[in-house]
Amino acid sequence: MYYFHNHNALKLTSEIKLIVVNSNIILIIFSNCEFLSKILYKILLFLQRIIFSIKKIKLLFDKIKNFLYVYTTYRGNYMKKYIILIFLLINFILNGEDLFIILSNSKFGYIDKNGNIKISPQFDEAKDFYEGLAVARKIDLTDNRKIKYGYIDESGIFFILPQFDEAKKFINGYARVRIENKWGYINKKGDFIIQPQFEDCWDFYESVALVYVNGNFGYILENGTYLVKPEYEGGGKFSEGMAKVKKYGKWGYVNKDGKLVIQPQYDKADEFKCGVARVKVGNKWGYINKDNKFVIQPKFDKAEDFNENLACVAINKKWGIIDLKGNFIVKPKFDEARNFSEGLAAVKEGKIWGFINPKGEIIIEIKFDKVGDFKEGLVKINLNQKWGYINKKGDIIVKPQFDFCYDFKNGLALVGIENFWTKKFGYINNTGKIVFDLSN
């Protein structure tokens, strides 16, 4: 779907309108031949995408060299080598190049993980890429109040032209968009698969989405038909074939057939993970299975969802870790604990943090003021009010020096130094090297 209204349009005369599609395409629309103008735009867009594809082919060859390293060093049989190589190639082709947002002169653009500018700063707002597309907008030159959102591809082209009052990222091939005060769903072509009609809606999970209509929650399928009509006070996303729903102040569960299989009876509830769901009865937490049987009785003051087949629970203000049978792997002894991430869990004694393994052994000394969760083999840590990063052995990879920092994502992390005299921030790689200084 290609819409040209309200899109960086500058009306030159009553017959000619200038449209800035992106930094590389300027389209002139003549009112008496708008159809031909749209055809011209599609041709120009097609040619620009061919040029971008050639650039990606070169990048693909660079990636293949790295993949071949895996192929030649893997100590397995030849079939496994071929499977690994094919999998890595397909993964790259589907996911494309990792891009990161930058801000320069109040305009947003993108860099690659080496710090090279891939999309020049030109957008008034931009979001991260998901499934090859990113939400972006430019101010309408004809009316600054009419700001529309669209989706750009990895070359910076508006693949889906700005036409939405609000737009969300693509998840599982679909994105939520709002026109005026109604929400609907589009596919990656920009076509509405479900017309705007909801007061609010959420992403599709397991091919089902939660929607809000006339003060009630229901569920729809990808074709827009209702799996569960809007009749509940609350709801959650589908996970492992079940979704929580709320009625008369209590929580129960519906299945993928739209049937209420667990009657609303719990004071609080969460989604199914590892085959069980966390529920609250009175002031105690326990875990049920899909047959509504308690596999772990409600006896905990606090509890977290299962992750990596383990869950953090608290009794008498002390935290421990249990398995799916309710057995304590780590007795309640910590002042705080977080779920496992990449095989390690953050635990707190007094005011300081460290990390344990699934056996409860302290792997990283409890000595940090604050910690995050492991992402891509590294975790942010705070010592003496400065942030840095350590690996799973506890080795300091990036010494604490930043006033704020974020988790690593696709090889880079956003960090910053901010005080009365200085305000600097940028991206670092997993060795601590600054690959792009956003302060310039």
For 229-268, write each residue's pLDDT tens digit: 999 999 999 999 999 999 999 999 999 999 999 999 999 9
Considering the domain boundaries, does residue 411 fall inside one?
yes
With respect to residue 197, please indicate whether it lies within any of the assigned structural domains.
Answer: no
Which position has the higher pLDDT, 291 or 28? 291
pTM score over 0.85: no
The confidence score (pLDDT) of residue 385 equals 94
Asked if residue 399 is part of any domain, the answer here is yes
**pLDDT score for 146:** 66
Establish if 437 belongs to a structural domain.
yes
N residues, the chain: 440
Mean pLDDT of all residues in 98-114 = 92
Q: CA 129, CA 169: separation in Å to the nearest integer? A: 8
* SS3 readout for the chain: CCCCCCCCEEECCCCEEEEECCCCCEEEEEHHHHHHHHHHHHHHHHHHHHHHHHHHHHHHHHHHHHHHHHHHHCCCCHHHHHHHHHHHHHHHHHHCCCCEEEEECCEEEEECCCCCEEEEEEECEEEEEECCEEEEEECCCCCCCCCEEEEECCCCCEEEEEEECEEEEEECCEEEEEECCEEEEECCCCCEEEEEEECEEEEEECCEEEEEECCEEEEEECCCCEEEEEEECEECCCECCEEEEEECCEEEEEECCCCEEEEEEECEEEEEECCEEEEEECCEEEEECCCCCEEEEEEECEECCCECCEEEEEECCEEEEECCCCCEEEEEEECEECCCECCEEEEEECCEEEEECCCCCEEEEEEECEECCCECCEEEEEECCEEEEECCCCCEEEEEEECEECCCECCEEEEEEECCCCEEEEEEECCCCEEEECCC
Task: Give the highest mean pLDDT range of 9-18, 24-33, 136-145.
Answer: 136-145
Whether the predicted pLDDT of 105 surpasses 90: no
Mean per-residue pLDDT of the chain: 84
Token digits of residue 332: 């309640």
Rounded CA gap, 333 and 51, in Å?
60
Higher pLDDT, 94 or 322: 322
**Rounded to whole angstroms, how far apart are CA atoms 183 and 334?**
45
20 has pLDDT over 50 = no
Least confident of 22-36, 159-173, 284-298: 22-36
Confidence of residue 147 (pLDDT cuts 50, 70, 90): confident
Strand order in the sheet with 276-281: 268-273, 276-281, 284-288, 294-300
Q: Is residue 273 part of a domain?
A: no
275, part of any domain: no
62 band by pLDDT with thresholds 50, 70 and 90: very low
Nearest Cα to Cα of residue 110 among 417, 416, 410: 410
Domain range holding 425? Answer: 376-440
Whether 402 maps to a domain, the answer reads yes
Q: Per-residue pLDDT for 54 more than 70? A: no
Which pLDDT score, from 0 to 100, does residue 33 have? 58
Asked if the model's pLDDT at residue 100 lies above 80, the reply is yes
Average pLDDT of 4-14? 39
pLDDT at 87: 42
**pLDDT for 51:** 57
Structural domains in the chain (count): 1
Confidence class for position 45, pLDDT limits 50, 70, 90: low
Please report the pLDDT score of residue 204 as a whole number.
96
Position 26 scores a pLDDT of 45
Tell me the per-residue pLDDT of 371-416, one tens digit each, with 9 for 90 and over. Answer: 999 999 999 999 999 999 999 999 999 999 999 999 999 999 999 9
pLDDT confidence tier of residue 42, bands split at 50, 70 and 90: low
pLDDT for res 14 = 40
Taken in order 30, 32, 35, 39, the sign of the CA dihedral is negative
Predicted pLDDT of residue 91: 40
Asked if residue 386 is part of any domain, the answer here is yes
